[in-house]
Structure 1
Amino acid sequence: MKVKAKFENIRDKIEGNEVDLSLCNLTDVPVRELAAYPKATSLDLSCNNLITLPPEFCSLTHLVRIDLSKNQLSSLPEDLGLLSSLQHLDLFQNKLKTLPVSFSQLRSLRWLDLKDNPLEAPLAKVAGDCLDDKQCRQCAVMVLQHMRVLQEEADRLREKRLLRQRELELKREAKQREQEAREKEVRKREKAEEKERKRKEYEAQQAALAAQEQQRKRREEKKKRAAASAAEKKKAESVVVTRSGWSVSSVLLRLLLLLLLGVGGAVAACHLSTLREEEVCAPLRLLLQGALQWAEGQELLQPLLQKISALTASSPAL
């Protein structure tokens, strides 16, 4: 704001194509205000307190002549080479040790003064004494050549550095691809192992289920065999009991049959003989009638009963 306020009437500092800002006790360069006057191609900033130049200073590409003598500059902007129209540069009595590599791009430069700067030995040697106009012109030529060599060396170093970086990047990429391949292989192997583990677990589960099912079937078969055995045993017992029952019944029926036959024979004897009137025949007849009444319910005795009935029917006394 102070710079702007001080040079809001910068037009008063312009005379022809020259802007004279010398002896203004400047610590900053009013770049924006200077850019507003592109026809002012000569800029005098000598005898100020400039320590550095802002990067925006390199946008003043219309400048042909710049006087920065008798300041406190210890460095110049890295993009100083953008001042493509610059022909005259006065850096007398500053604190410069080196120049930016882009200085080699000032192809229009014809005059350069680097006196009274603590330049590094190689640069001081090519710069010379700059004691007159001829030496300053020679200084411009020699410094440009020197800076071009430095520029080429810087370019080679940069290319070498870029190549090295590219090689390192390719190695990193190759290493990363190798690492990714290993990780992919590990994941693939782990996936296969996990799948195999699950398959084994599944087969074990199926085997366990099959074993359980087999045991269940065995238990059911055992139960069925036990039930069948029990049923067979029960059936056998029933057959035995039935056979036994039939045997007893058969014996009884035979005994009754014999009894009936005996009673019937006795009754027949009584009926056909002279014993018919005896008291002994009456009980026999009663016994025969009771036995016949009982035998009526026995199917096996029906034929016998029919014969006895026919026999008794032929005897009215019975």
Structure 2
Amino acid sequence: MAPKGSKSEKEKEINKQFILAHLDEKEIDLSMCNLSQVPVNELAMVTRGSRLDLSRNLFTTLPDSFGTLRHLIELDLSSNQLKLLPDTISHLVVLQKLDLYSNKLSTLPLTFWKLKKLKWLDLRSNCLEGGLSEVAGPCVSQAECKQCASKVLVFVKQRSAEHERKRQLELLQKREEEQMAAEKEKMRQEEARKAKAELRQRRREEYAKSKQERARQEVQNDQEEAALVKNEANVGKQVKFNNSETRHCSYVRLMLVGVVLFLLLLLVGSYVYCDHLKSPTQVCSYWRENISGASLKNKWTEQLMQFIGLS
């Protein structure tokens, strides 16, 4: 079994030989070969062929790699089914003649104006849009095809400039919109930052206020507790003083009771000793005269009569 590399080399050699077989001096004639794809790589190997005829084939598009065929001076793509040309066709910087007769083109790429050496162009029998169709003209004669080339290049260049201005304007508008969006986002973030800062400040103020309130409450509680302790101390002192005074009064009462009892005992003793025992002593004589019952009765009667007489 042959390796894959050998098979691809064989196909490459066949394609190159096929192209060389259709090479006549500087022209490669691949017209009416029923090709649906352009053999770009193989054509790029044959740089001697500056004129390429691909007319009357089945092409609907050209690959982007078509722009690598920069050695082409003349290119015939007439009588195909092309609907669009790639932007890379502008890379054919030495191209002077281009035949696009009888295709399905409606427009040309905006880079087409870069084919500055293009001197001949045929756009007949295409589906060109209004402006481009008028600029291209009928292209019946060689002179008209030359005018078509120059006019189409100017037209496409103007359209490319308009497109570029429009693109720049859209880009500018997009940048302005992005800038406005960025400013709005910045404002939103700034407002959010301010809101957060205000929230933090409000929380700090509330915390400080609650802290002050707790401190004031603690001071008030301490003052109330101190006043309560002081009141309790005063009450204790008062109770202690009252207890002391009560005890003092009790002591005084006991002393008075003792004195009274002593006097009573003294009177009873004097009475027993002087009245019942009839003692002749000097004390008994004083007792009978001043302290005994008759003496006291006479004295009280006297004082009462004086009081009545005075009143």
Q: Percent same amino acid at aligned positions? A: 33
| Aligned pairs, number | 261
1:85 and 2:88 correspond: no
Deviation at 1:165, TM superposition (A): 2.7
Give the corresponding residue for 2:122: 113
Go from structure 1 to structure 2 and tell me whether the alpha carbon gap of 1:196 and 1:130 turns closer, same or farther (over 3 Å shift): same
Which of 154, 160, 170 is equivalent to 1:161? 170
Give the corresponding residue for 2:149: 140
Give the corresponding residue for 2:62: 53
Q: 1:1-318, aligned counterparts within 5 Å?
A: 9-12=14-17, 13-14=19-20, 15=23, 16-38=25-47, 40-244=49-253
Corresponding letter in the other structure for 2:175: R
More off after superposition, 34-43 vs 95-104: 34-43
Q: In the aligned structure 1, how far is the partner of 2:9 from the partner of 2:150?
A: 37
Deviation at 1:202, TM superposition (A): 2.2
Go from structure 1 to structure 2 and tell me whether the alpha carbon gap of 1:18 and 1:225 turns closer, same or farther (over 3 Å shift): farther
| Residues 4, 30 of structure 1: 8 Å contact kept | no
Corresponding letter in the other structure for 2:15: I
Go from structure 1 to structure 2 and tell me whether the alpha carbon gap of 1:20 and 1:229 turns closer, same or farther (over 3 Å shift): farther
The one-character-per-residue Cα deviations of 1:266-287 (angstroms, maximum 9, x if unpaired) are: xxxxxxxxxxxxxxxxxxxxxx
Deviation at 1:113, TM superposition (A): 1.3
Go from structure 1 to structure 2 and tell me whether the alpha carbon gap of 1:80 and 1:196 turns closer, same or farther (over 3 Å shift): farther
Corresponding letter in the other structure for 1:140: A
Q: Which runs of 5+ in 1 are unaligned?
A: 263-318
More off after superposition, 131-140 vs 143-152: 131-140
The one-character-per-residue Cα deviations of 1:188-223 (angstroms, maximum 9, x if unpaired) are: 333322322222222233233333333333332232
Q: In the aligned structure 2, how far is the partner of 1:106 from the partner of 1:175?
A: 46
Deviation at 1:142, TM superposition (A): 1.4
State the SS of the aligned residue for 2:87: coil
| Residues 110, 159 of structure 2: 8 Å contact kept | yes
Go from structure 1 to structure 2 and tell me whether the alpha carbon gap of 1:6 and 1:132 turns closer, same or farther (over 3 Å shift): farther
State the SS of the aligned residue for 1:71: coil
State the SS of the aligned residue for 2:86: coil
Deviation at 1:61, TM superposition (A): 3.1
Q: In the aligned structure 2, how far is the partner of 1:72 from the partner of 1:188?
A: 69
Q: In the aligned structure 2, how far is the partner of 1:46 from the partner of 1:5?
A: 27
Q: In the aligned structure 2, how far is the partner of 1:195 from the partner of 1:139?
A: 81
| Residues 104, 145 of structure 1: 8 Å contact kept | yes
| Residues 16, 42 of structure 2: 8 Å contact kept | no
Deviation at 1:163, TM superposition (A): 2.8
TM-score normalised by length of structure 2 = 0.69
More off after superposition, 202-211 vs 117-126: 202-211
Q: Which runs of 5+ in 2 are unaligned?
A: 1-7, 271-311
State the SS of the aligned residue for 2:176: helix
Q: In the aligned structure 2, how far is the partner of 1:241 from the partner of 1:34?
A: 144
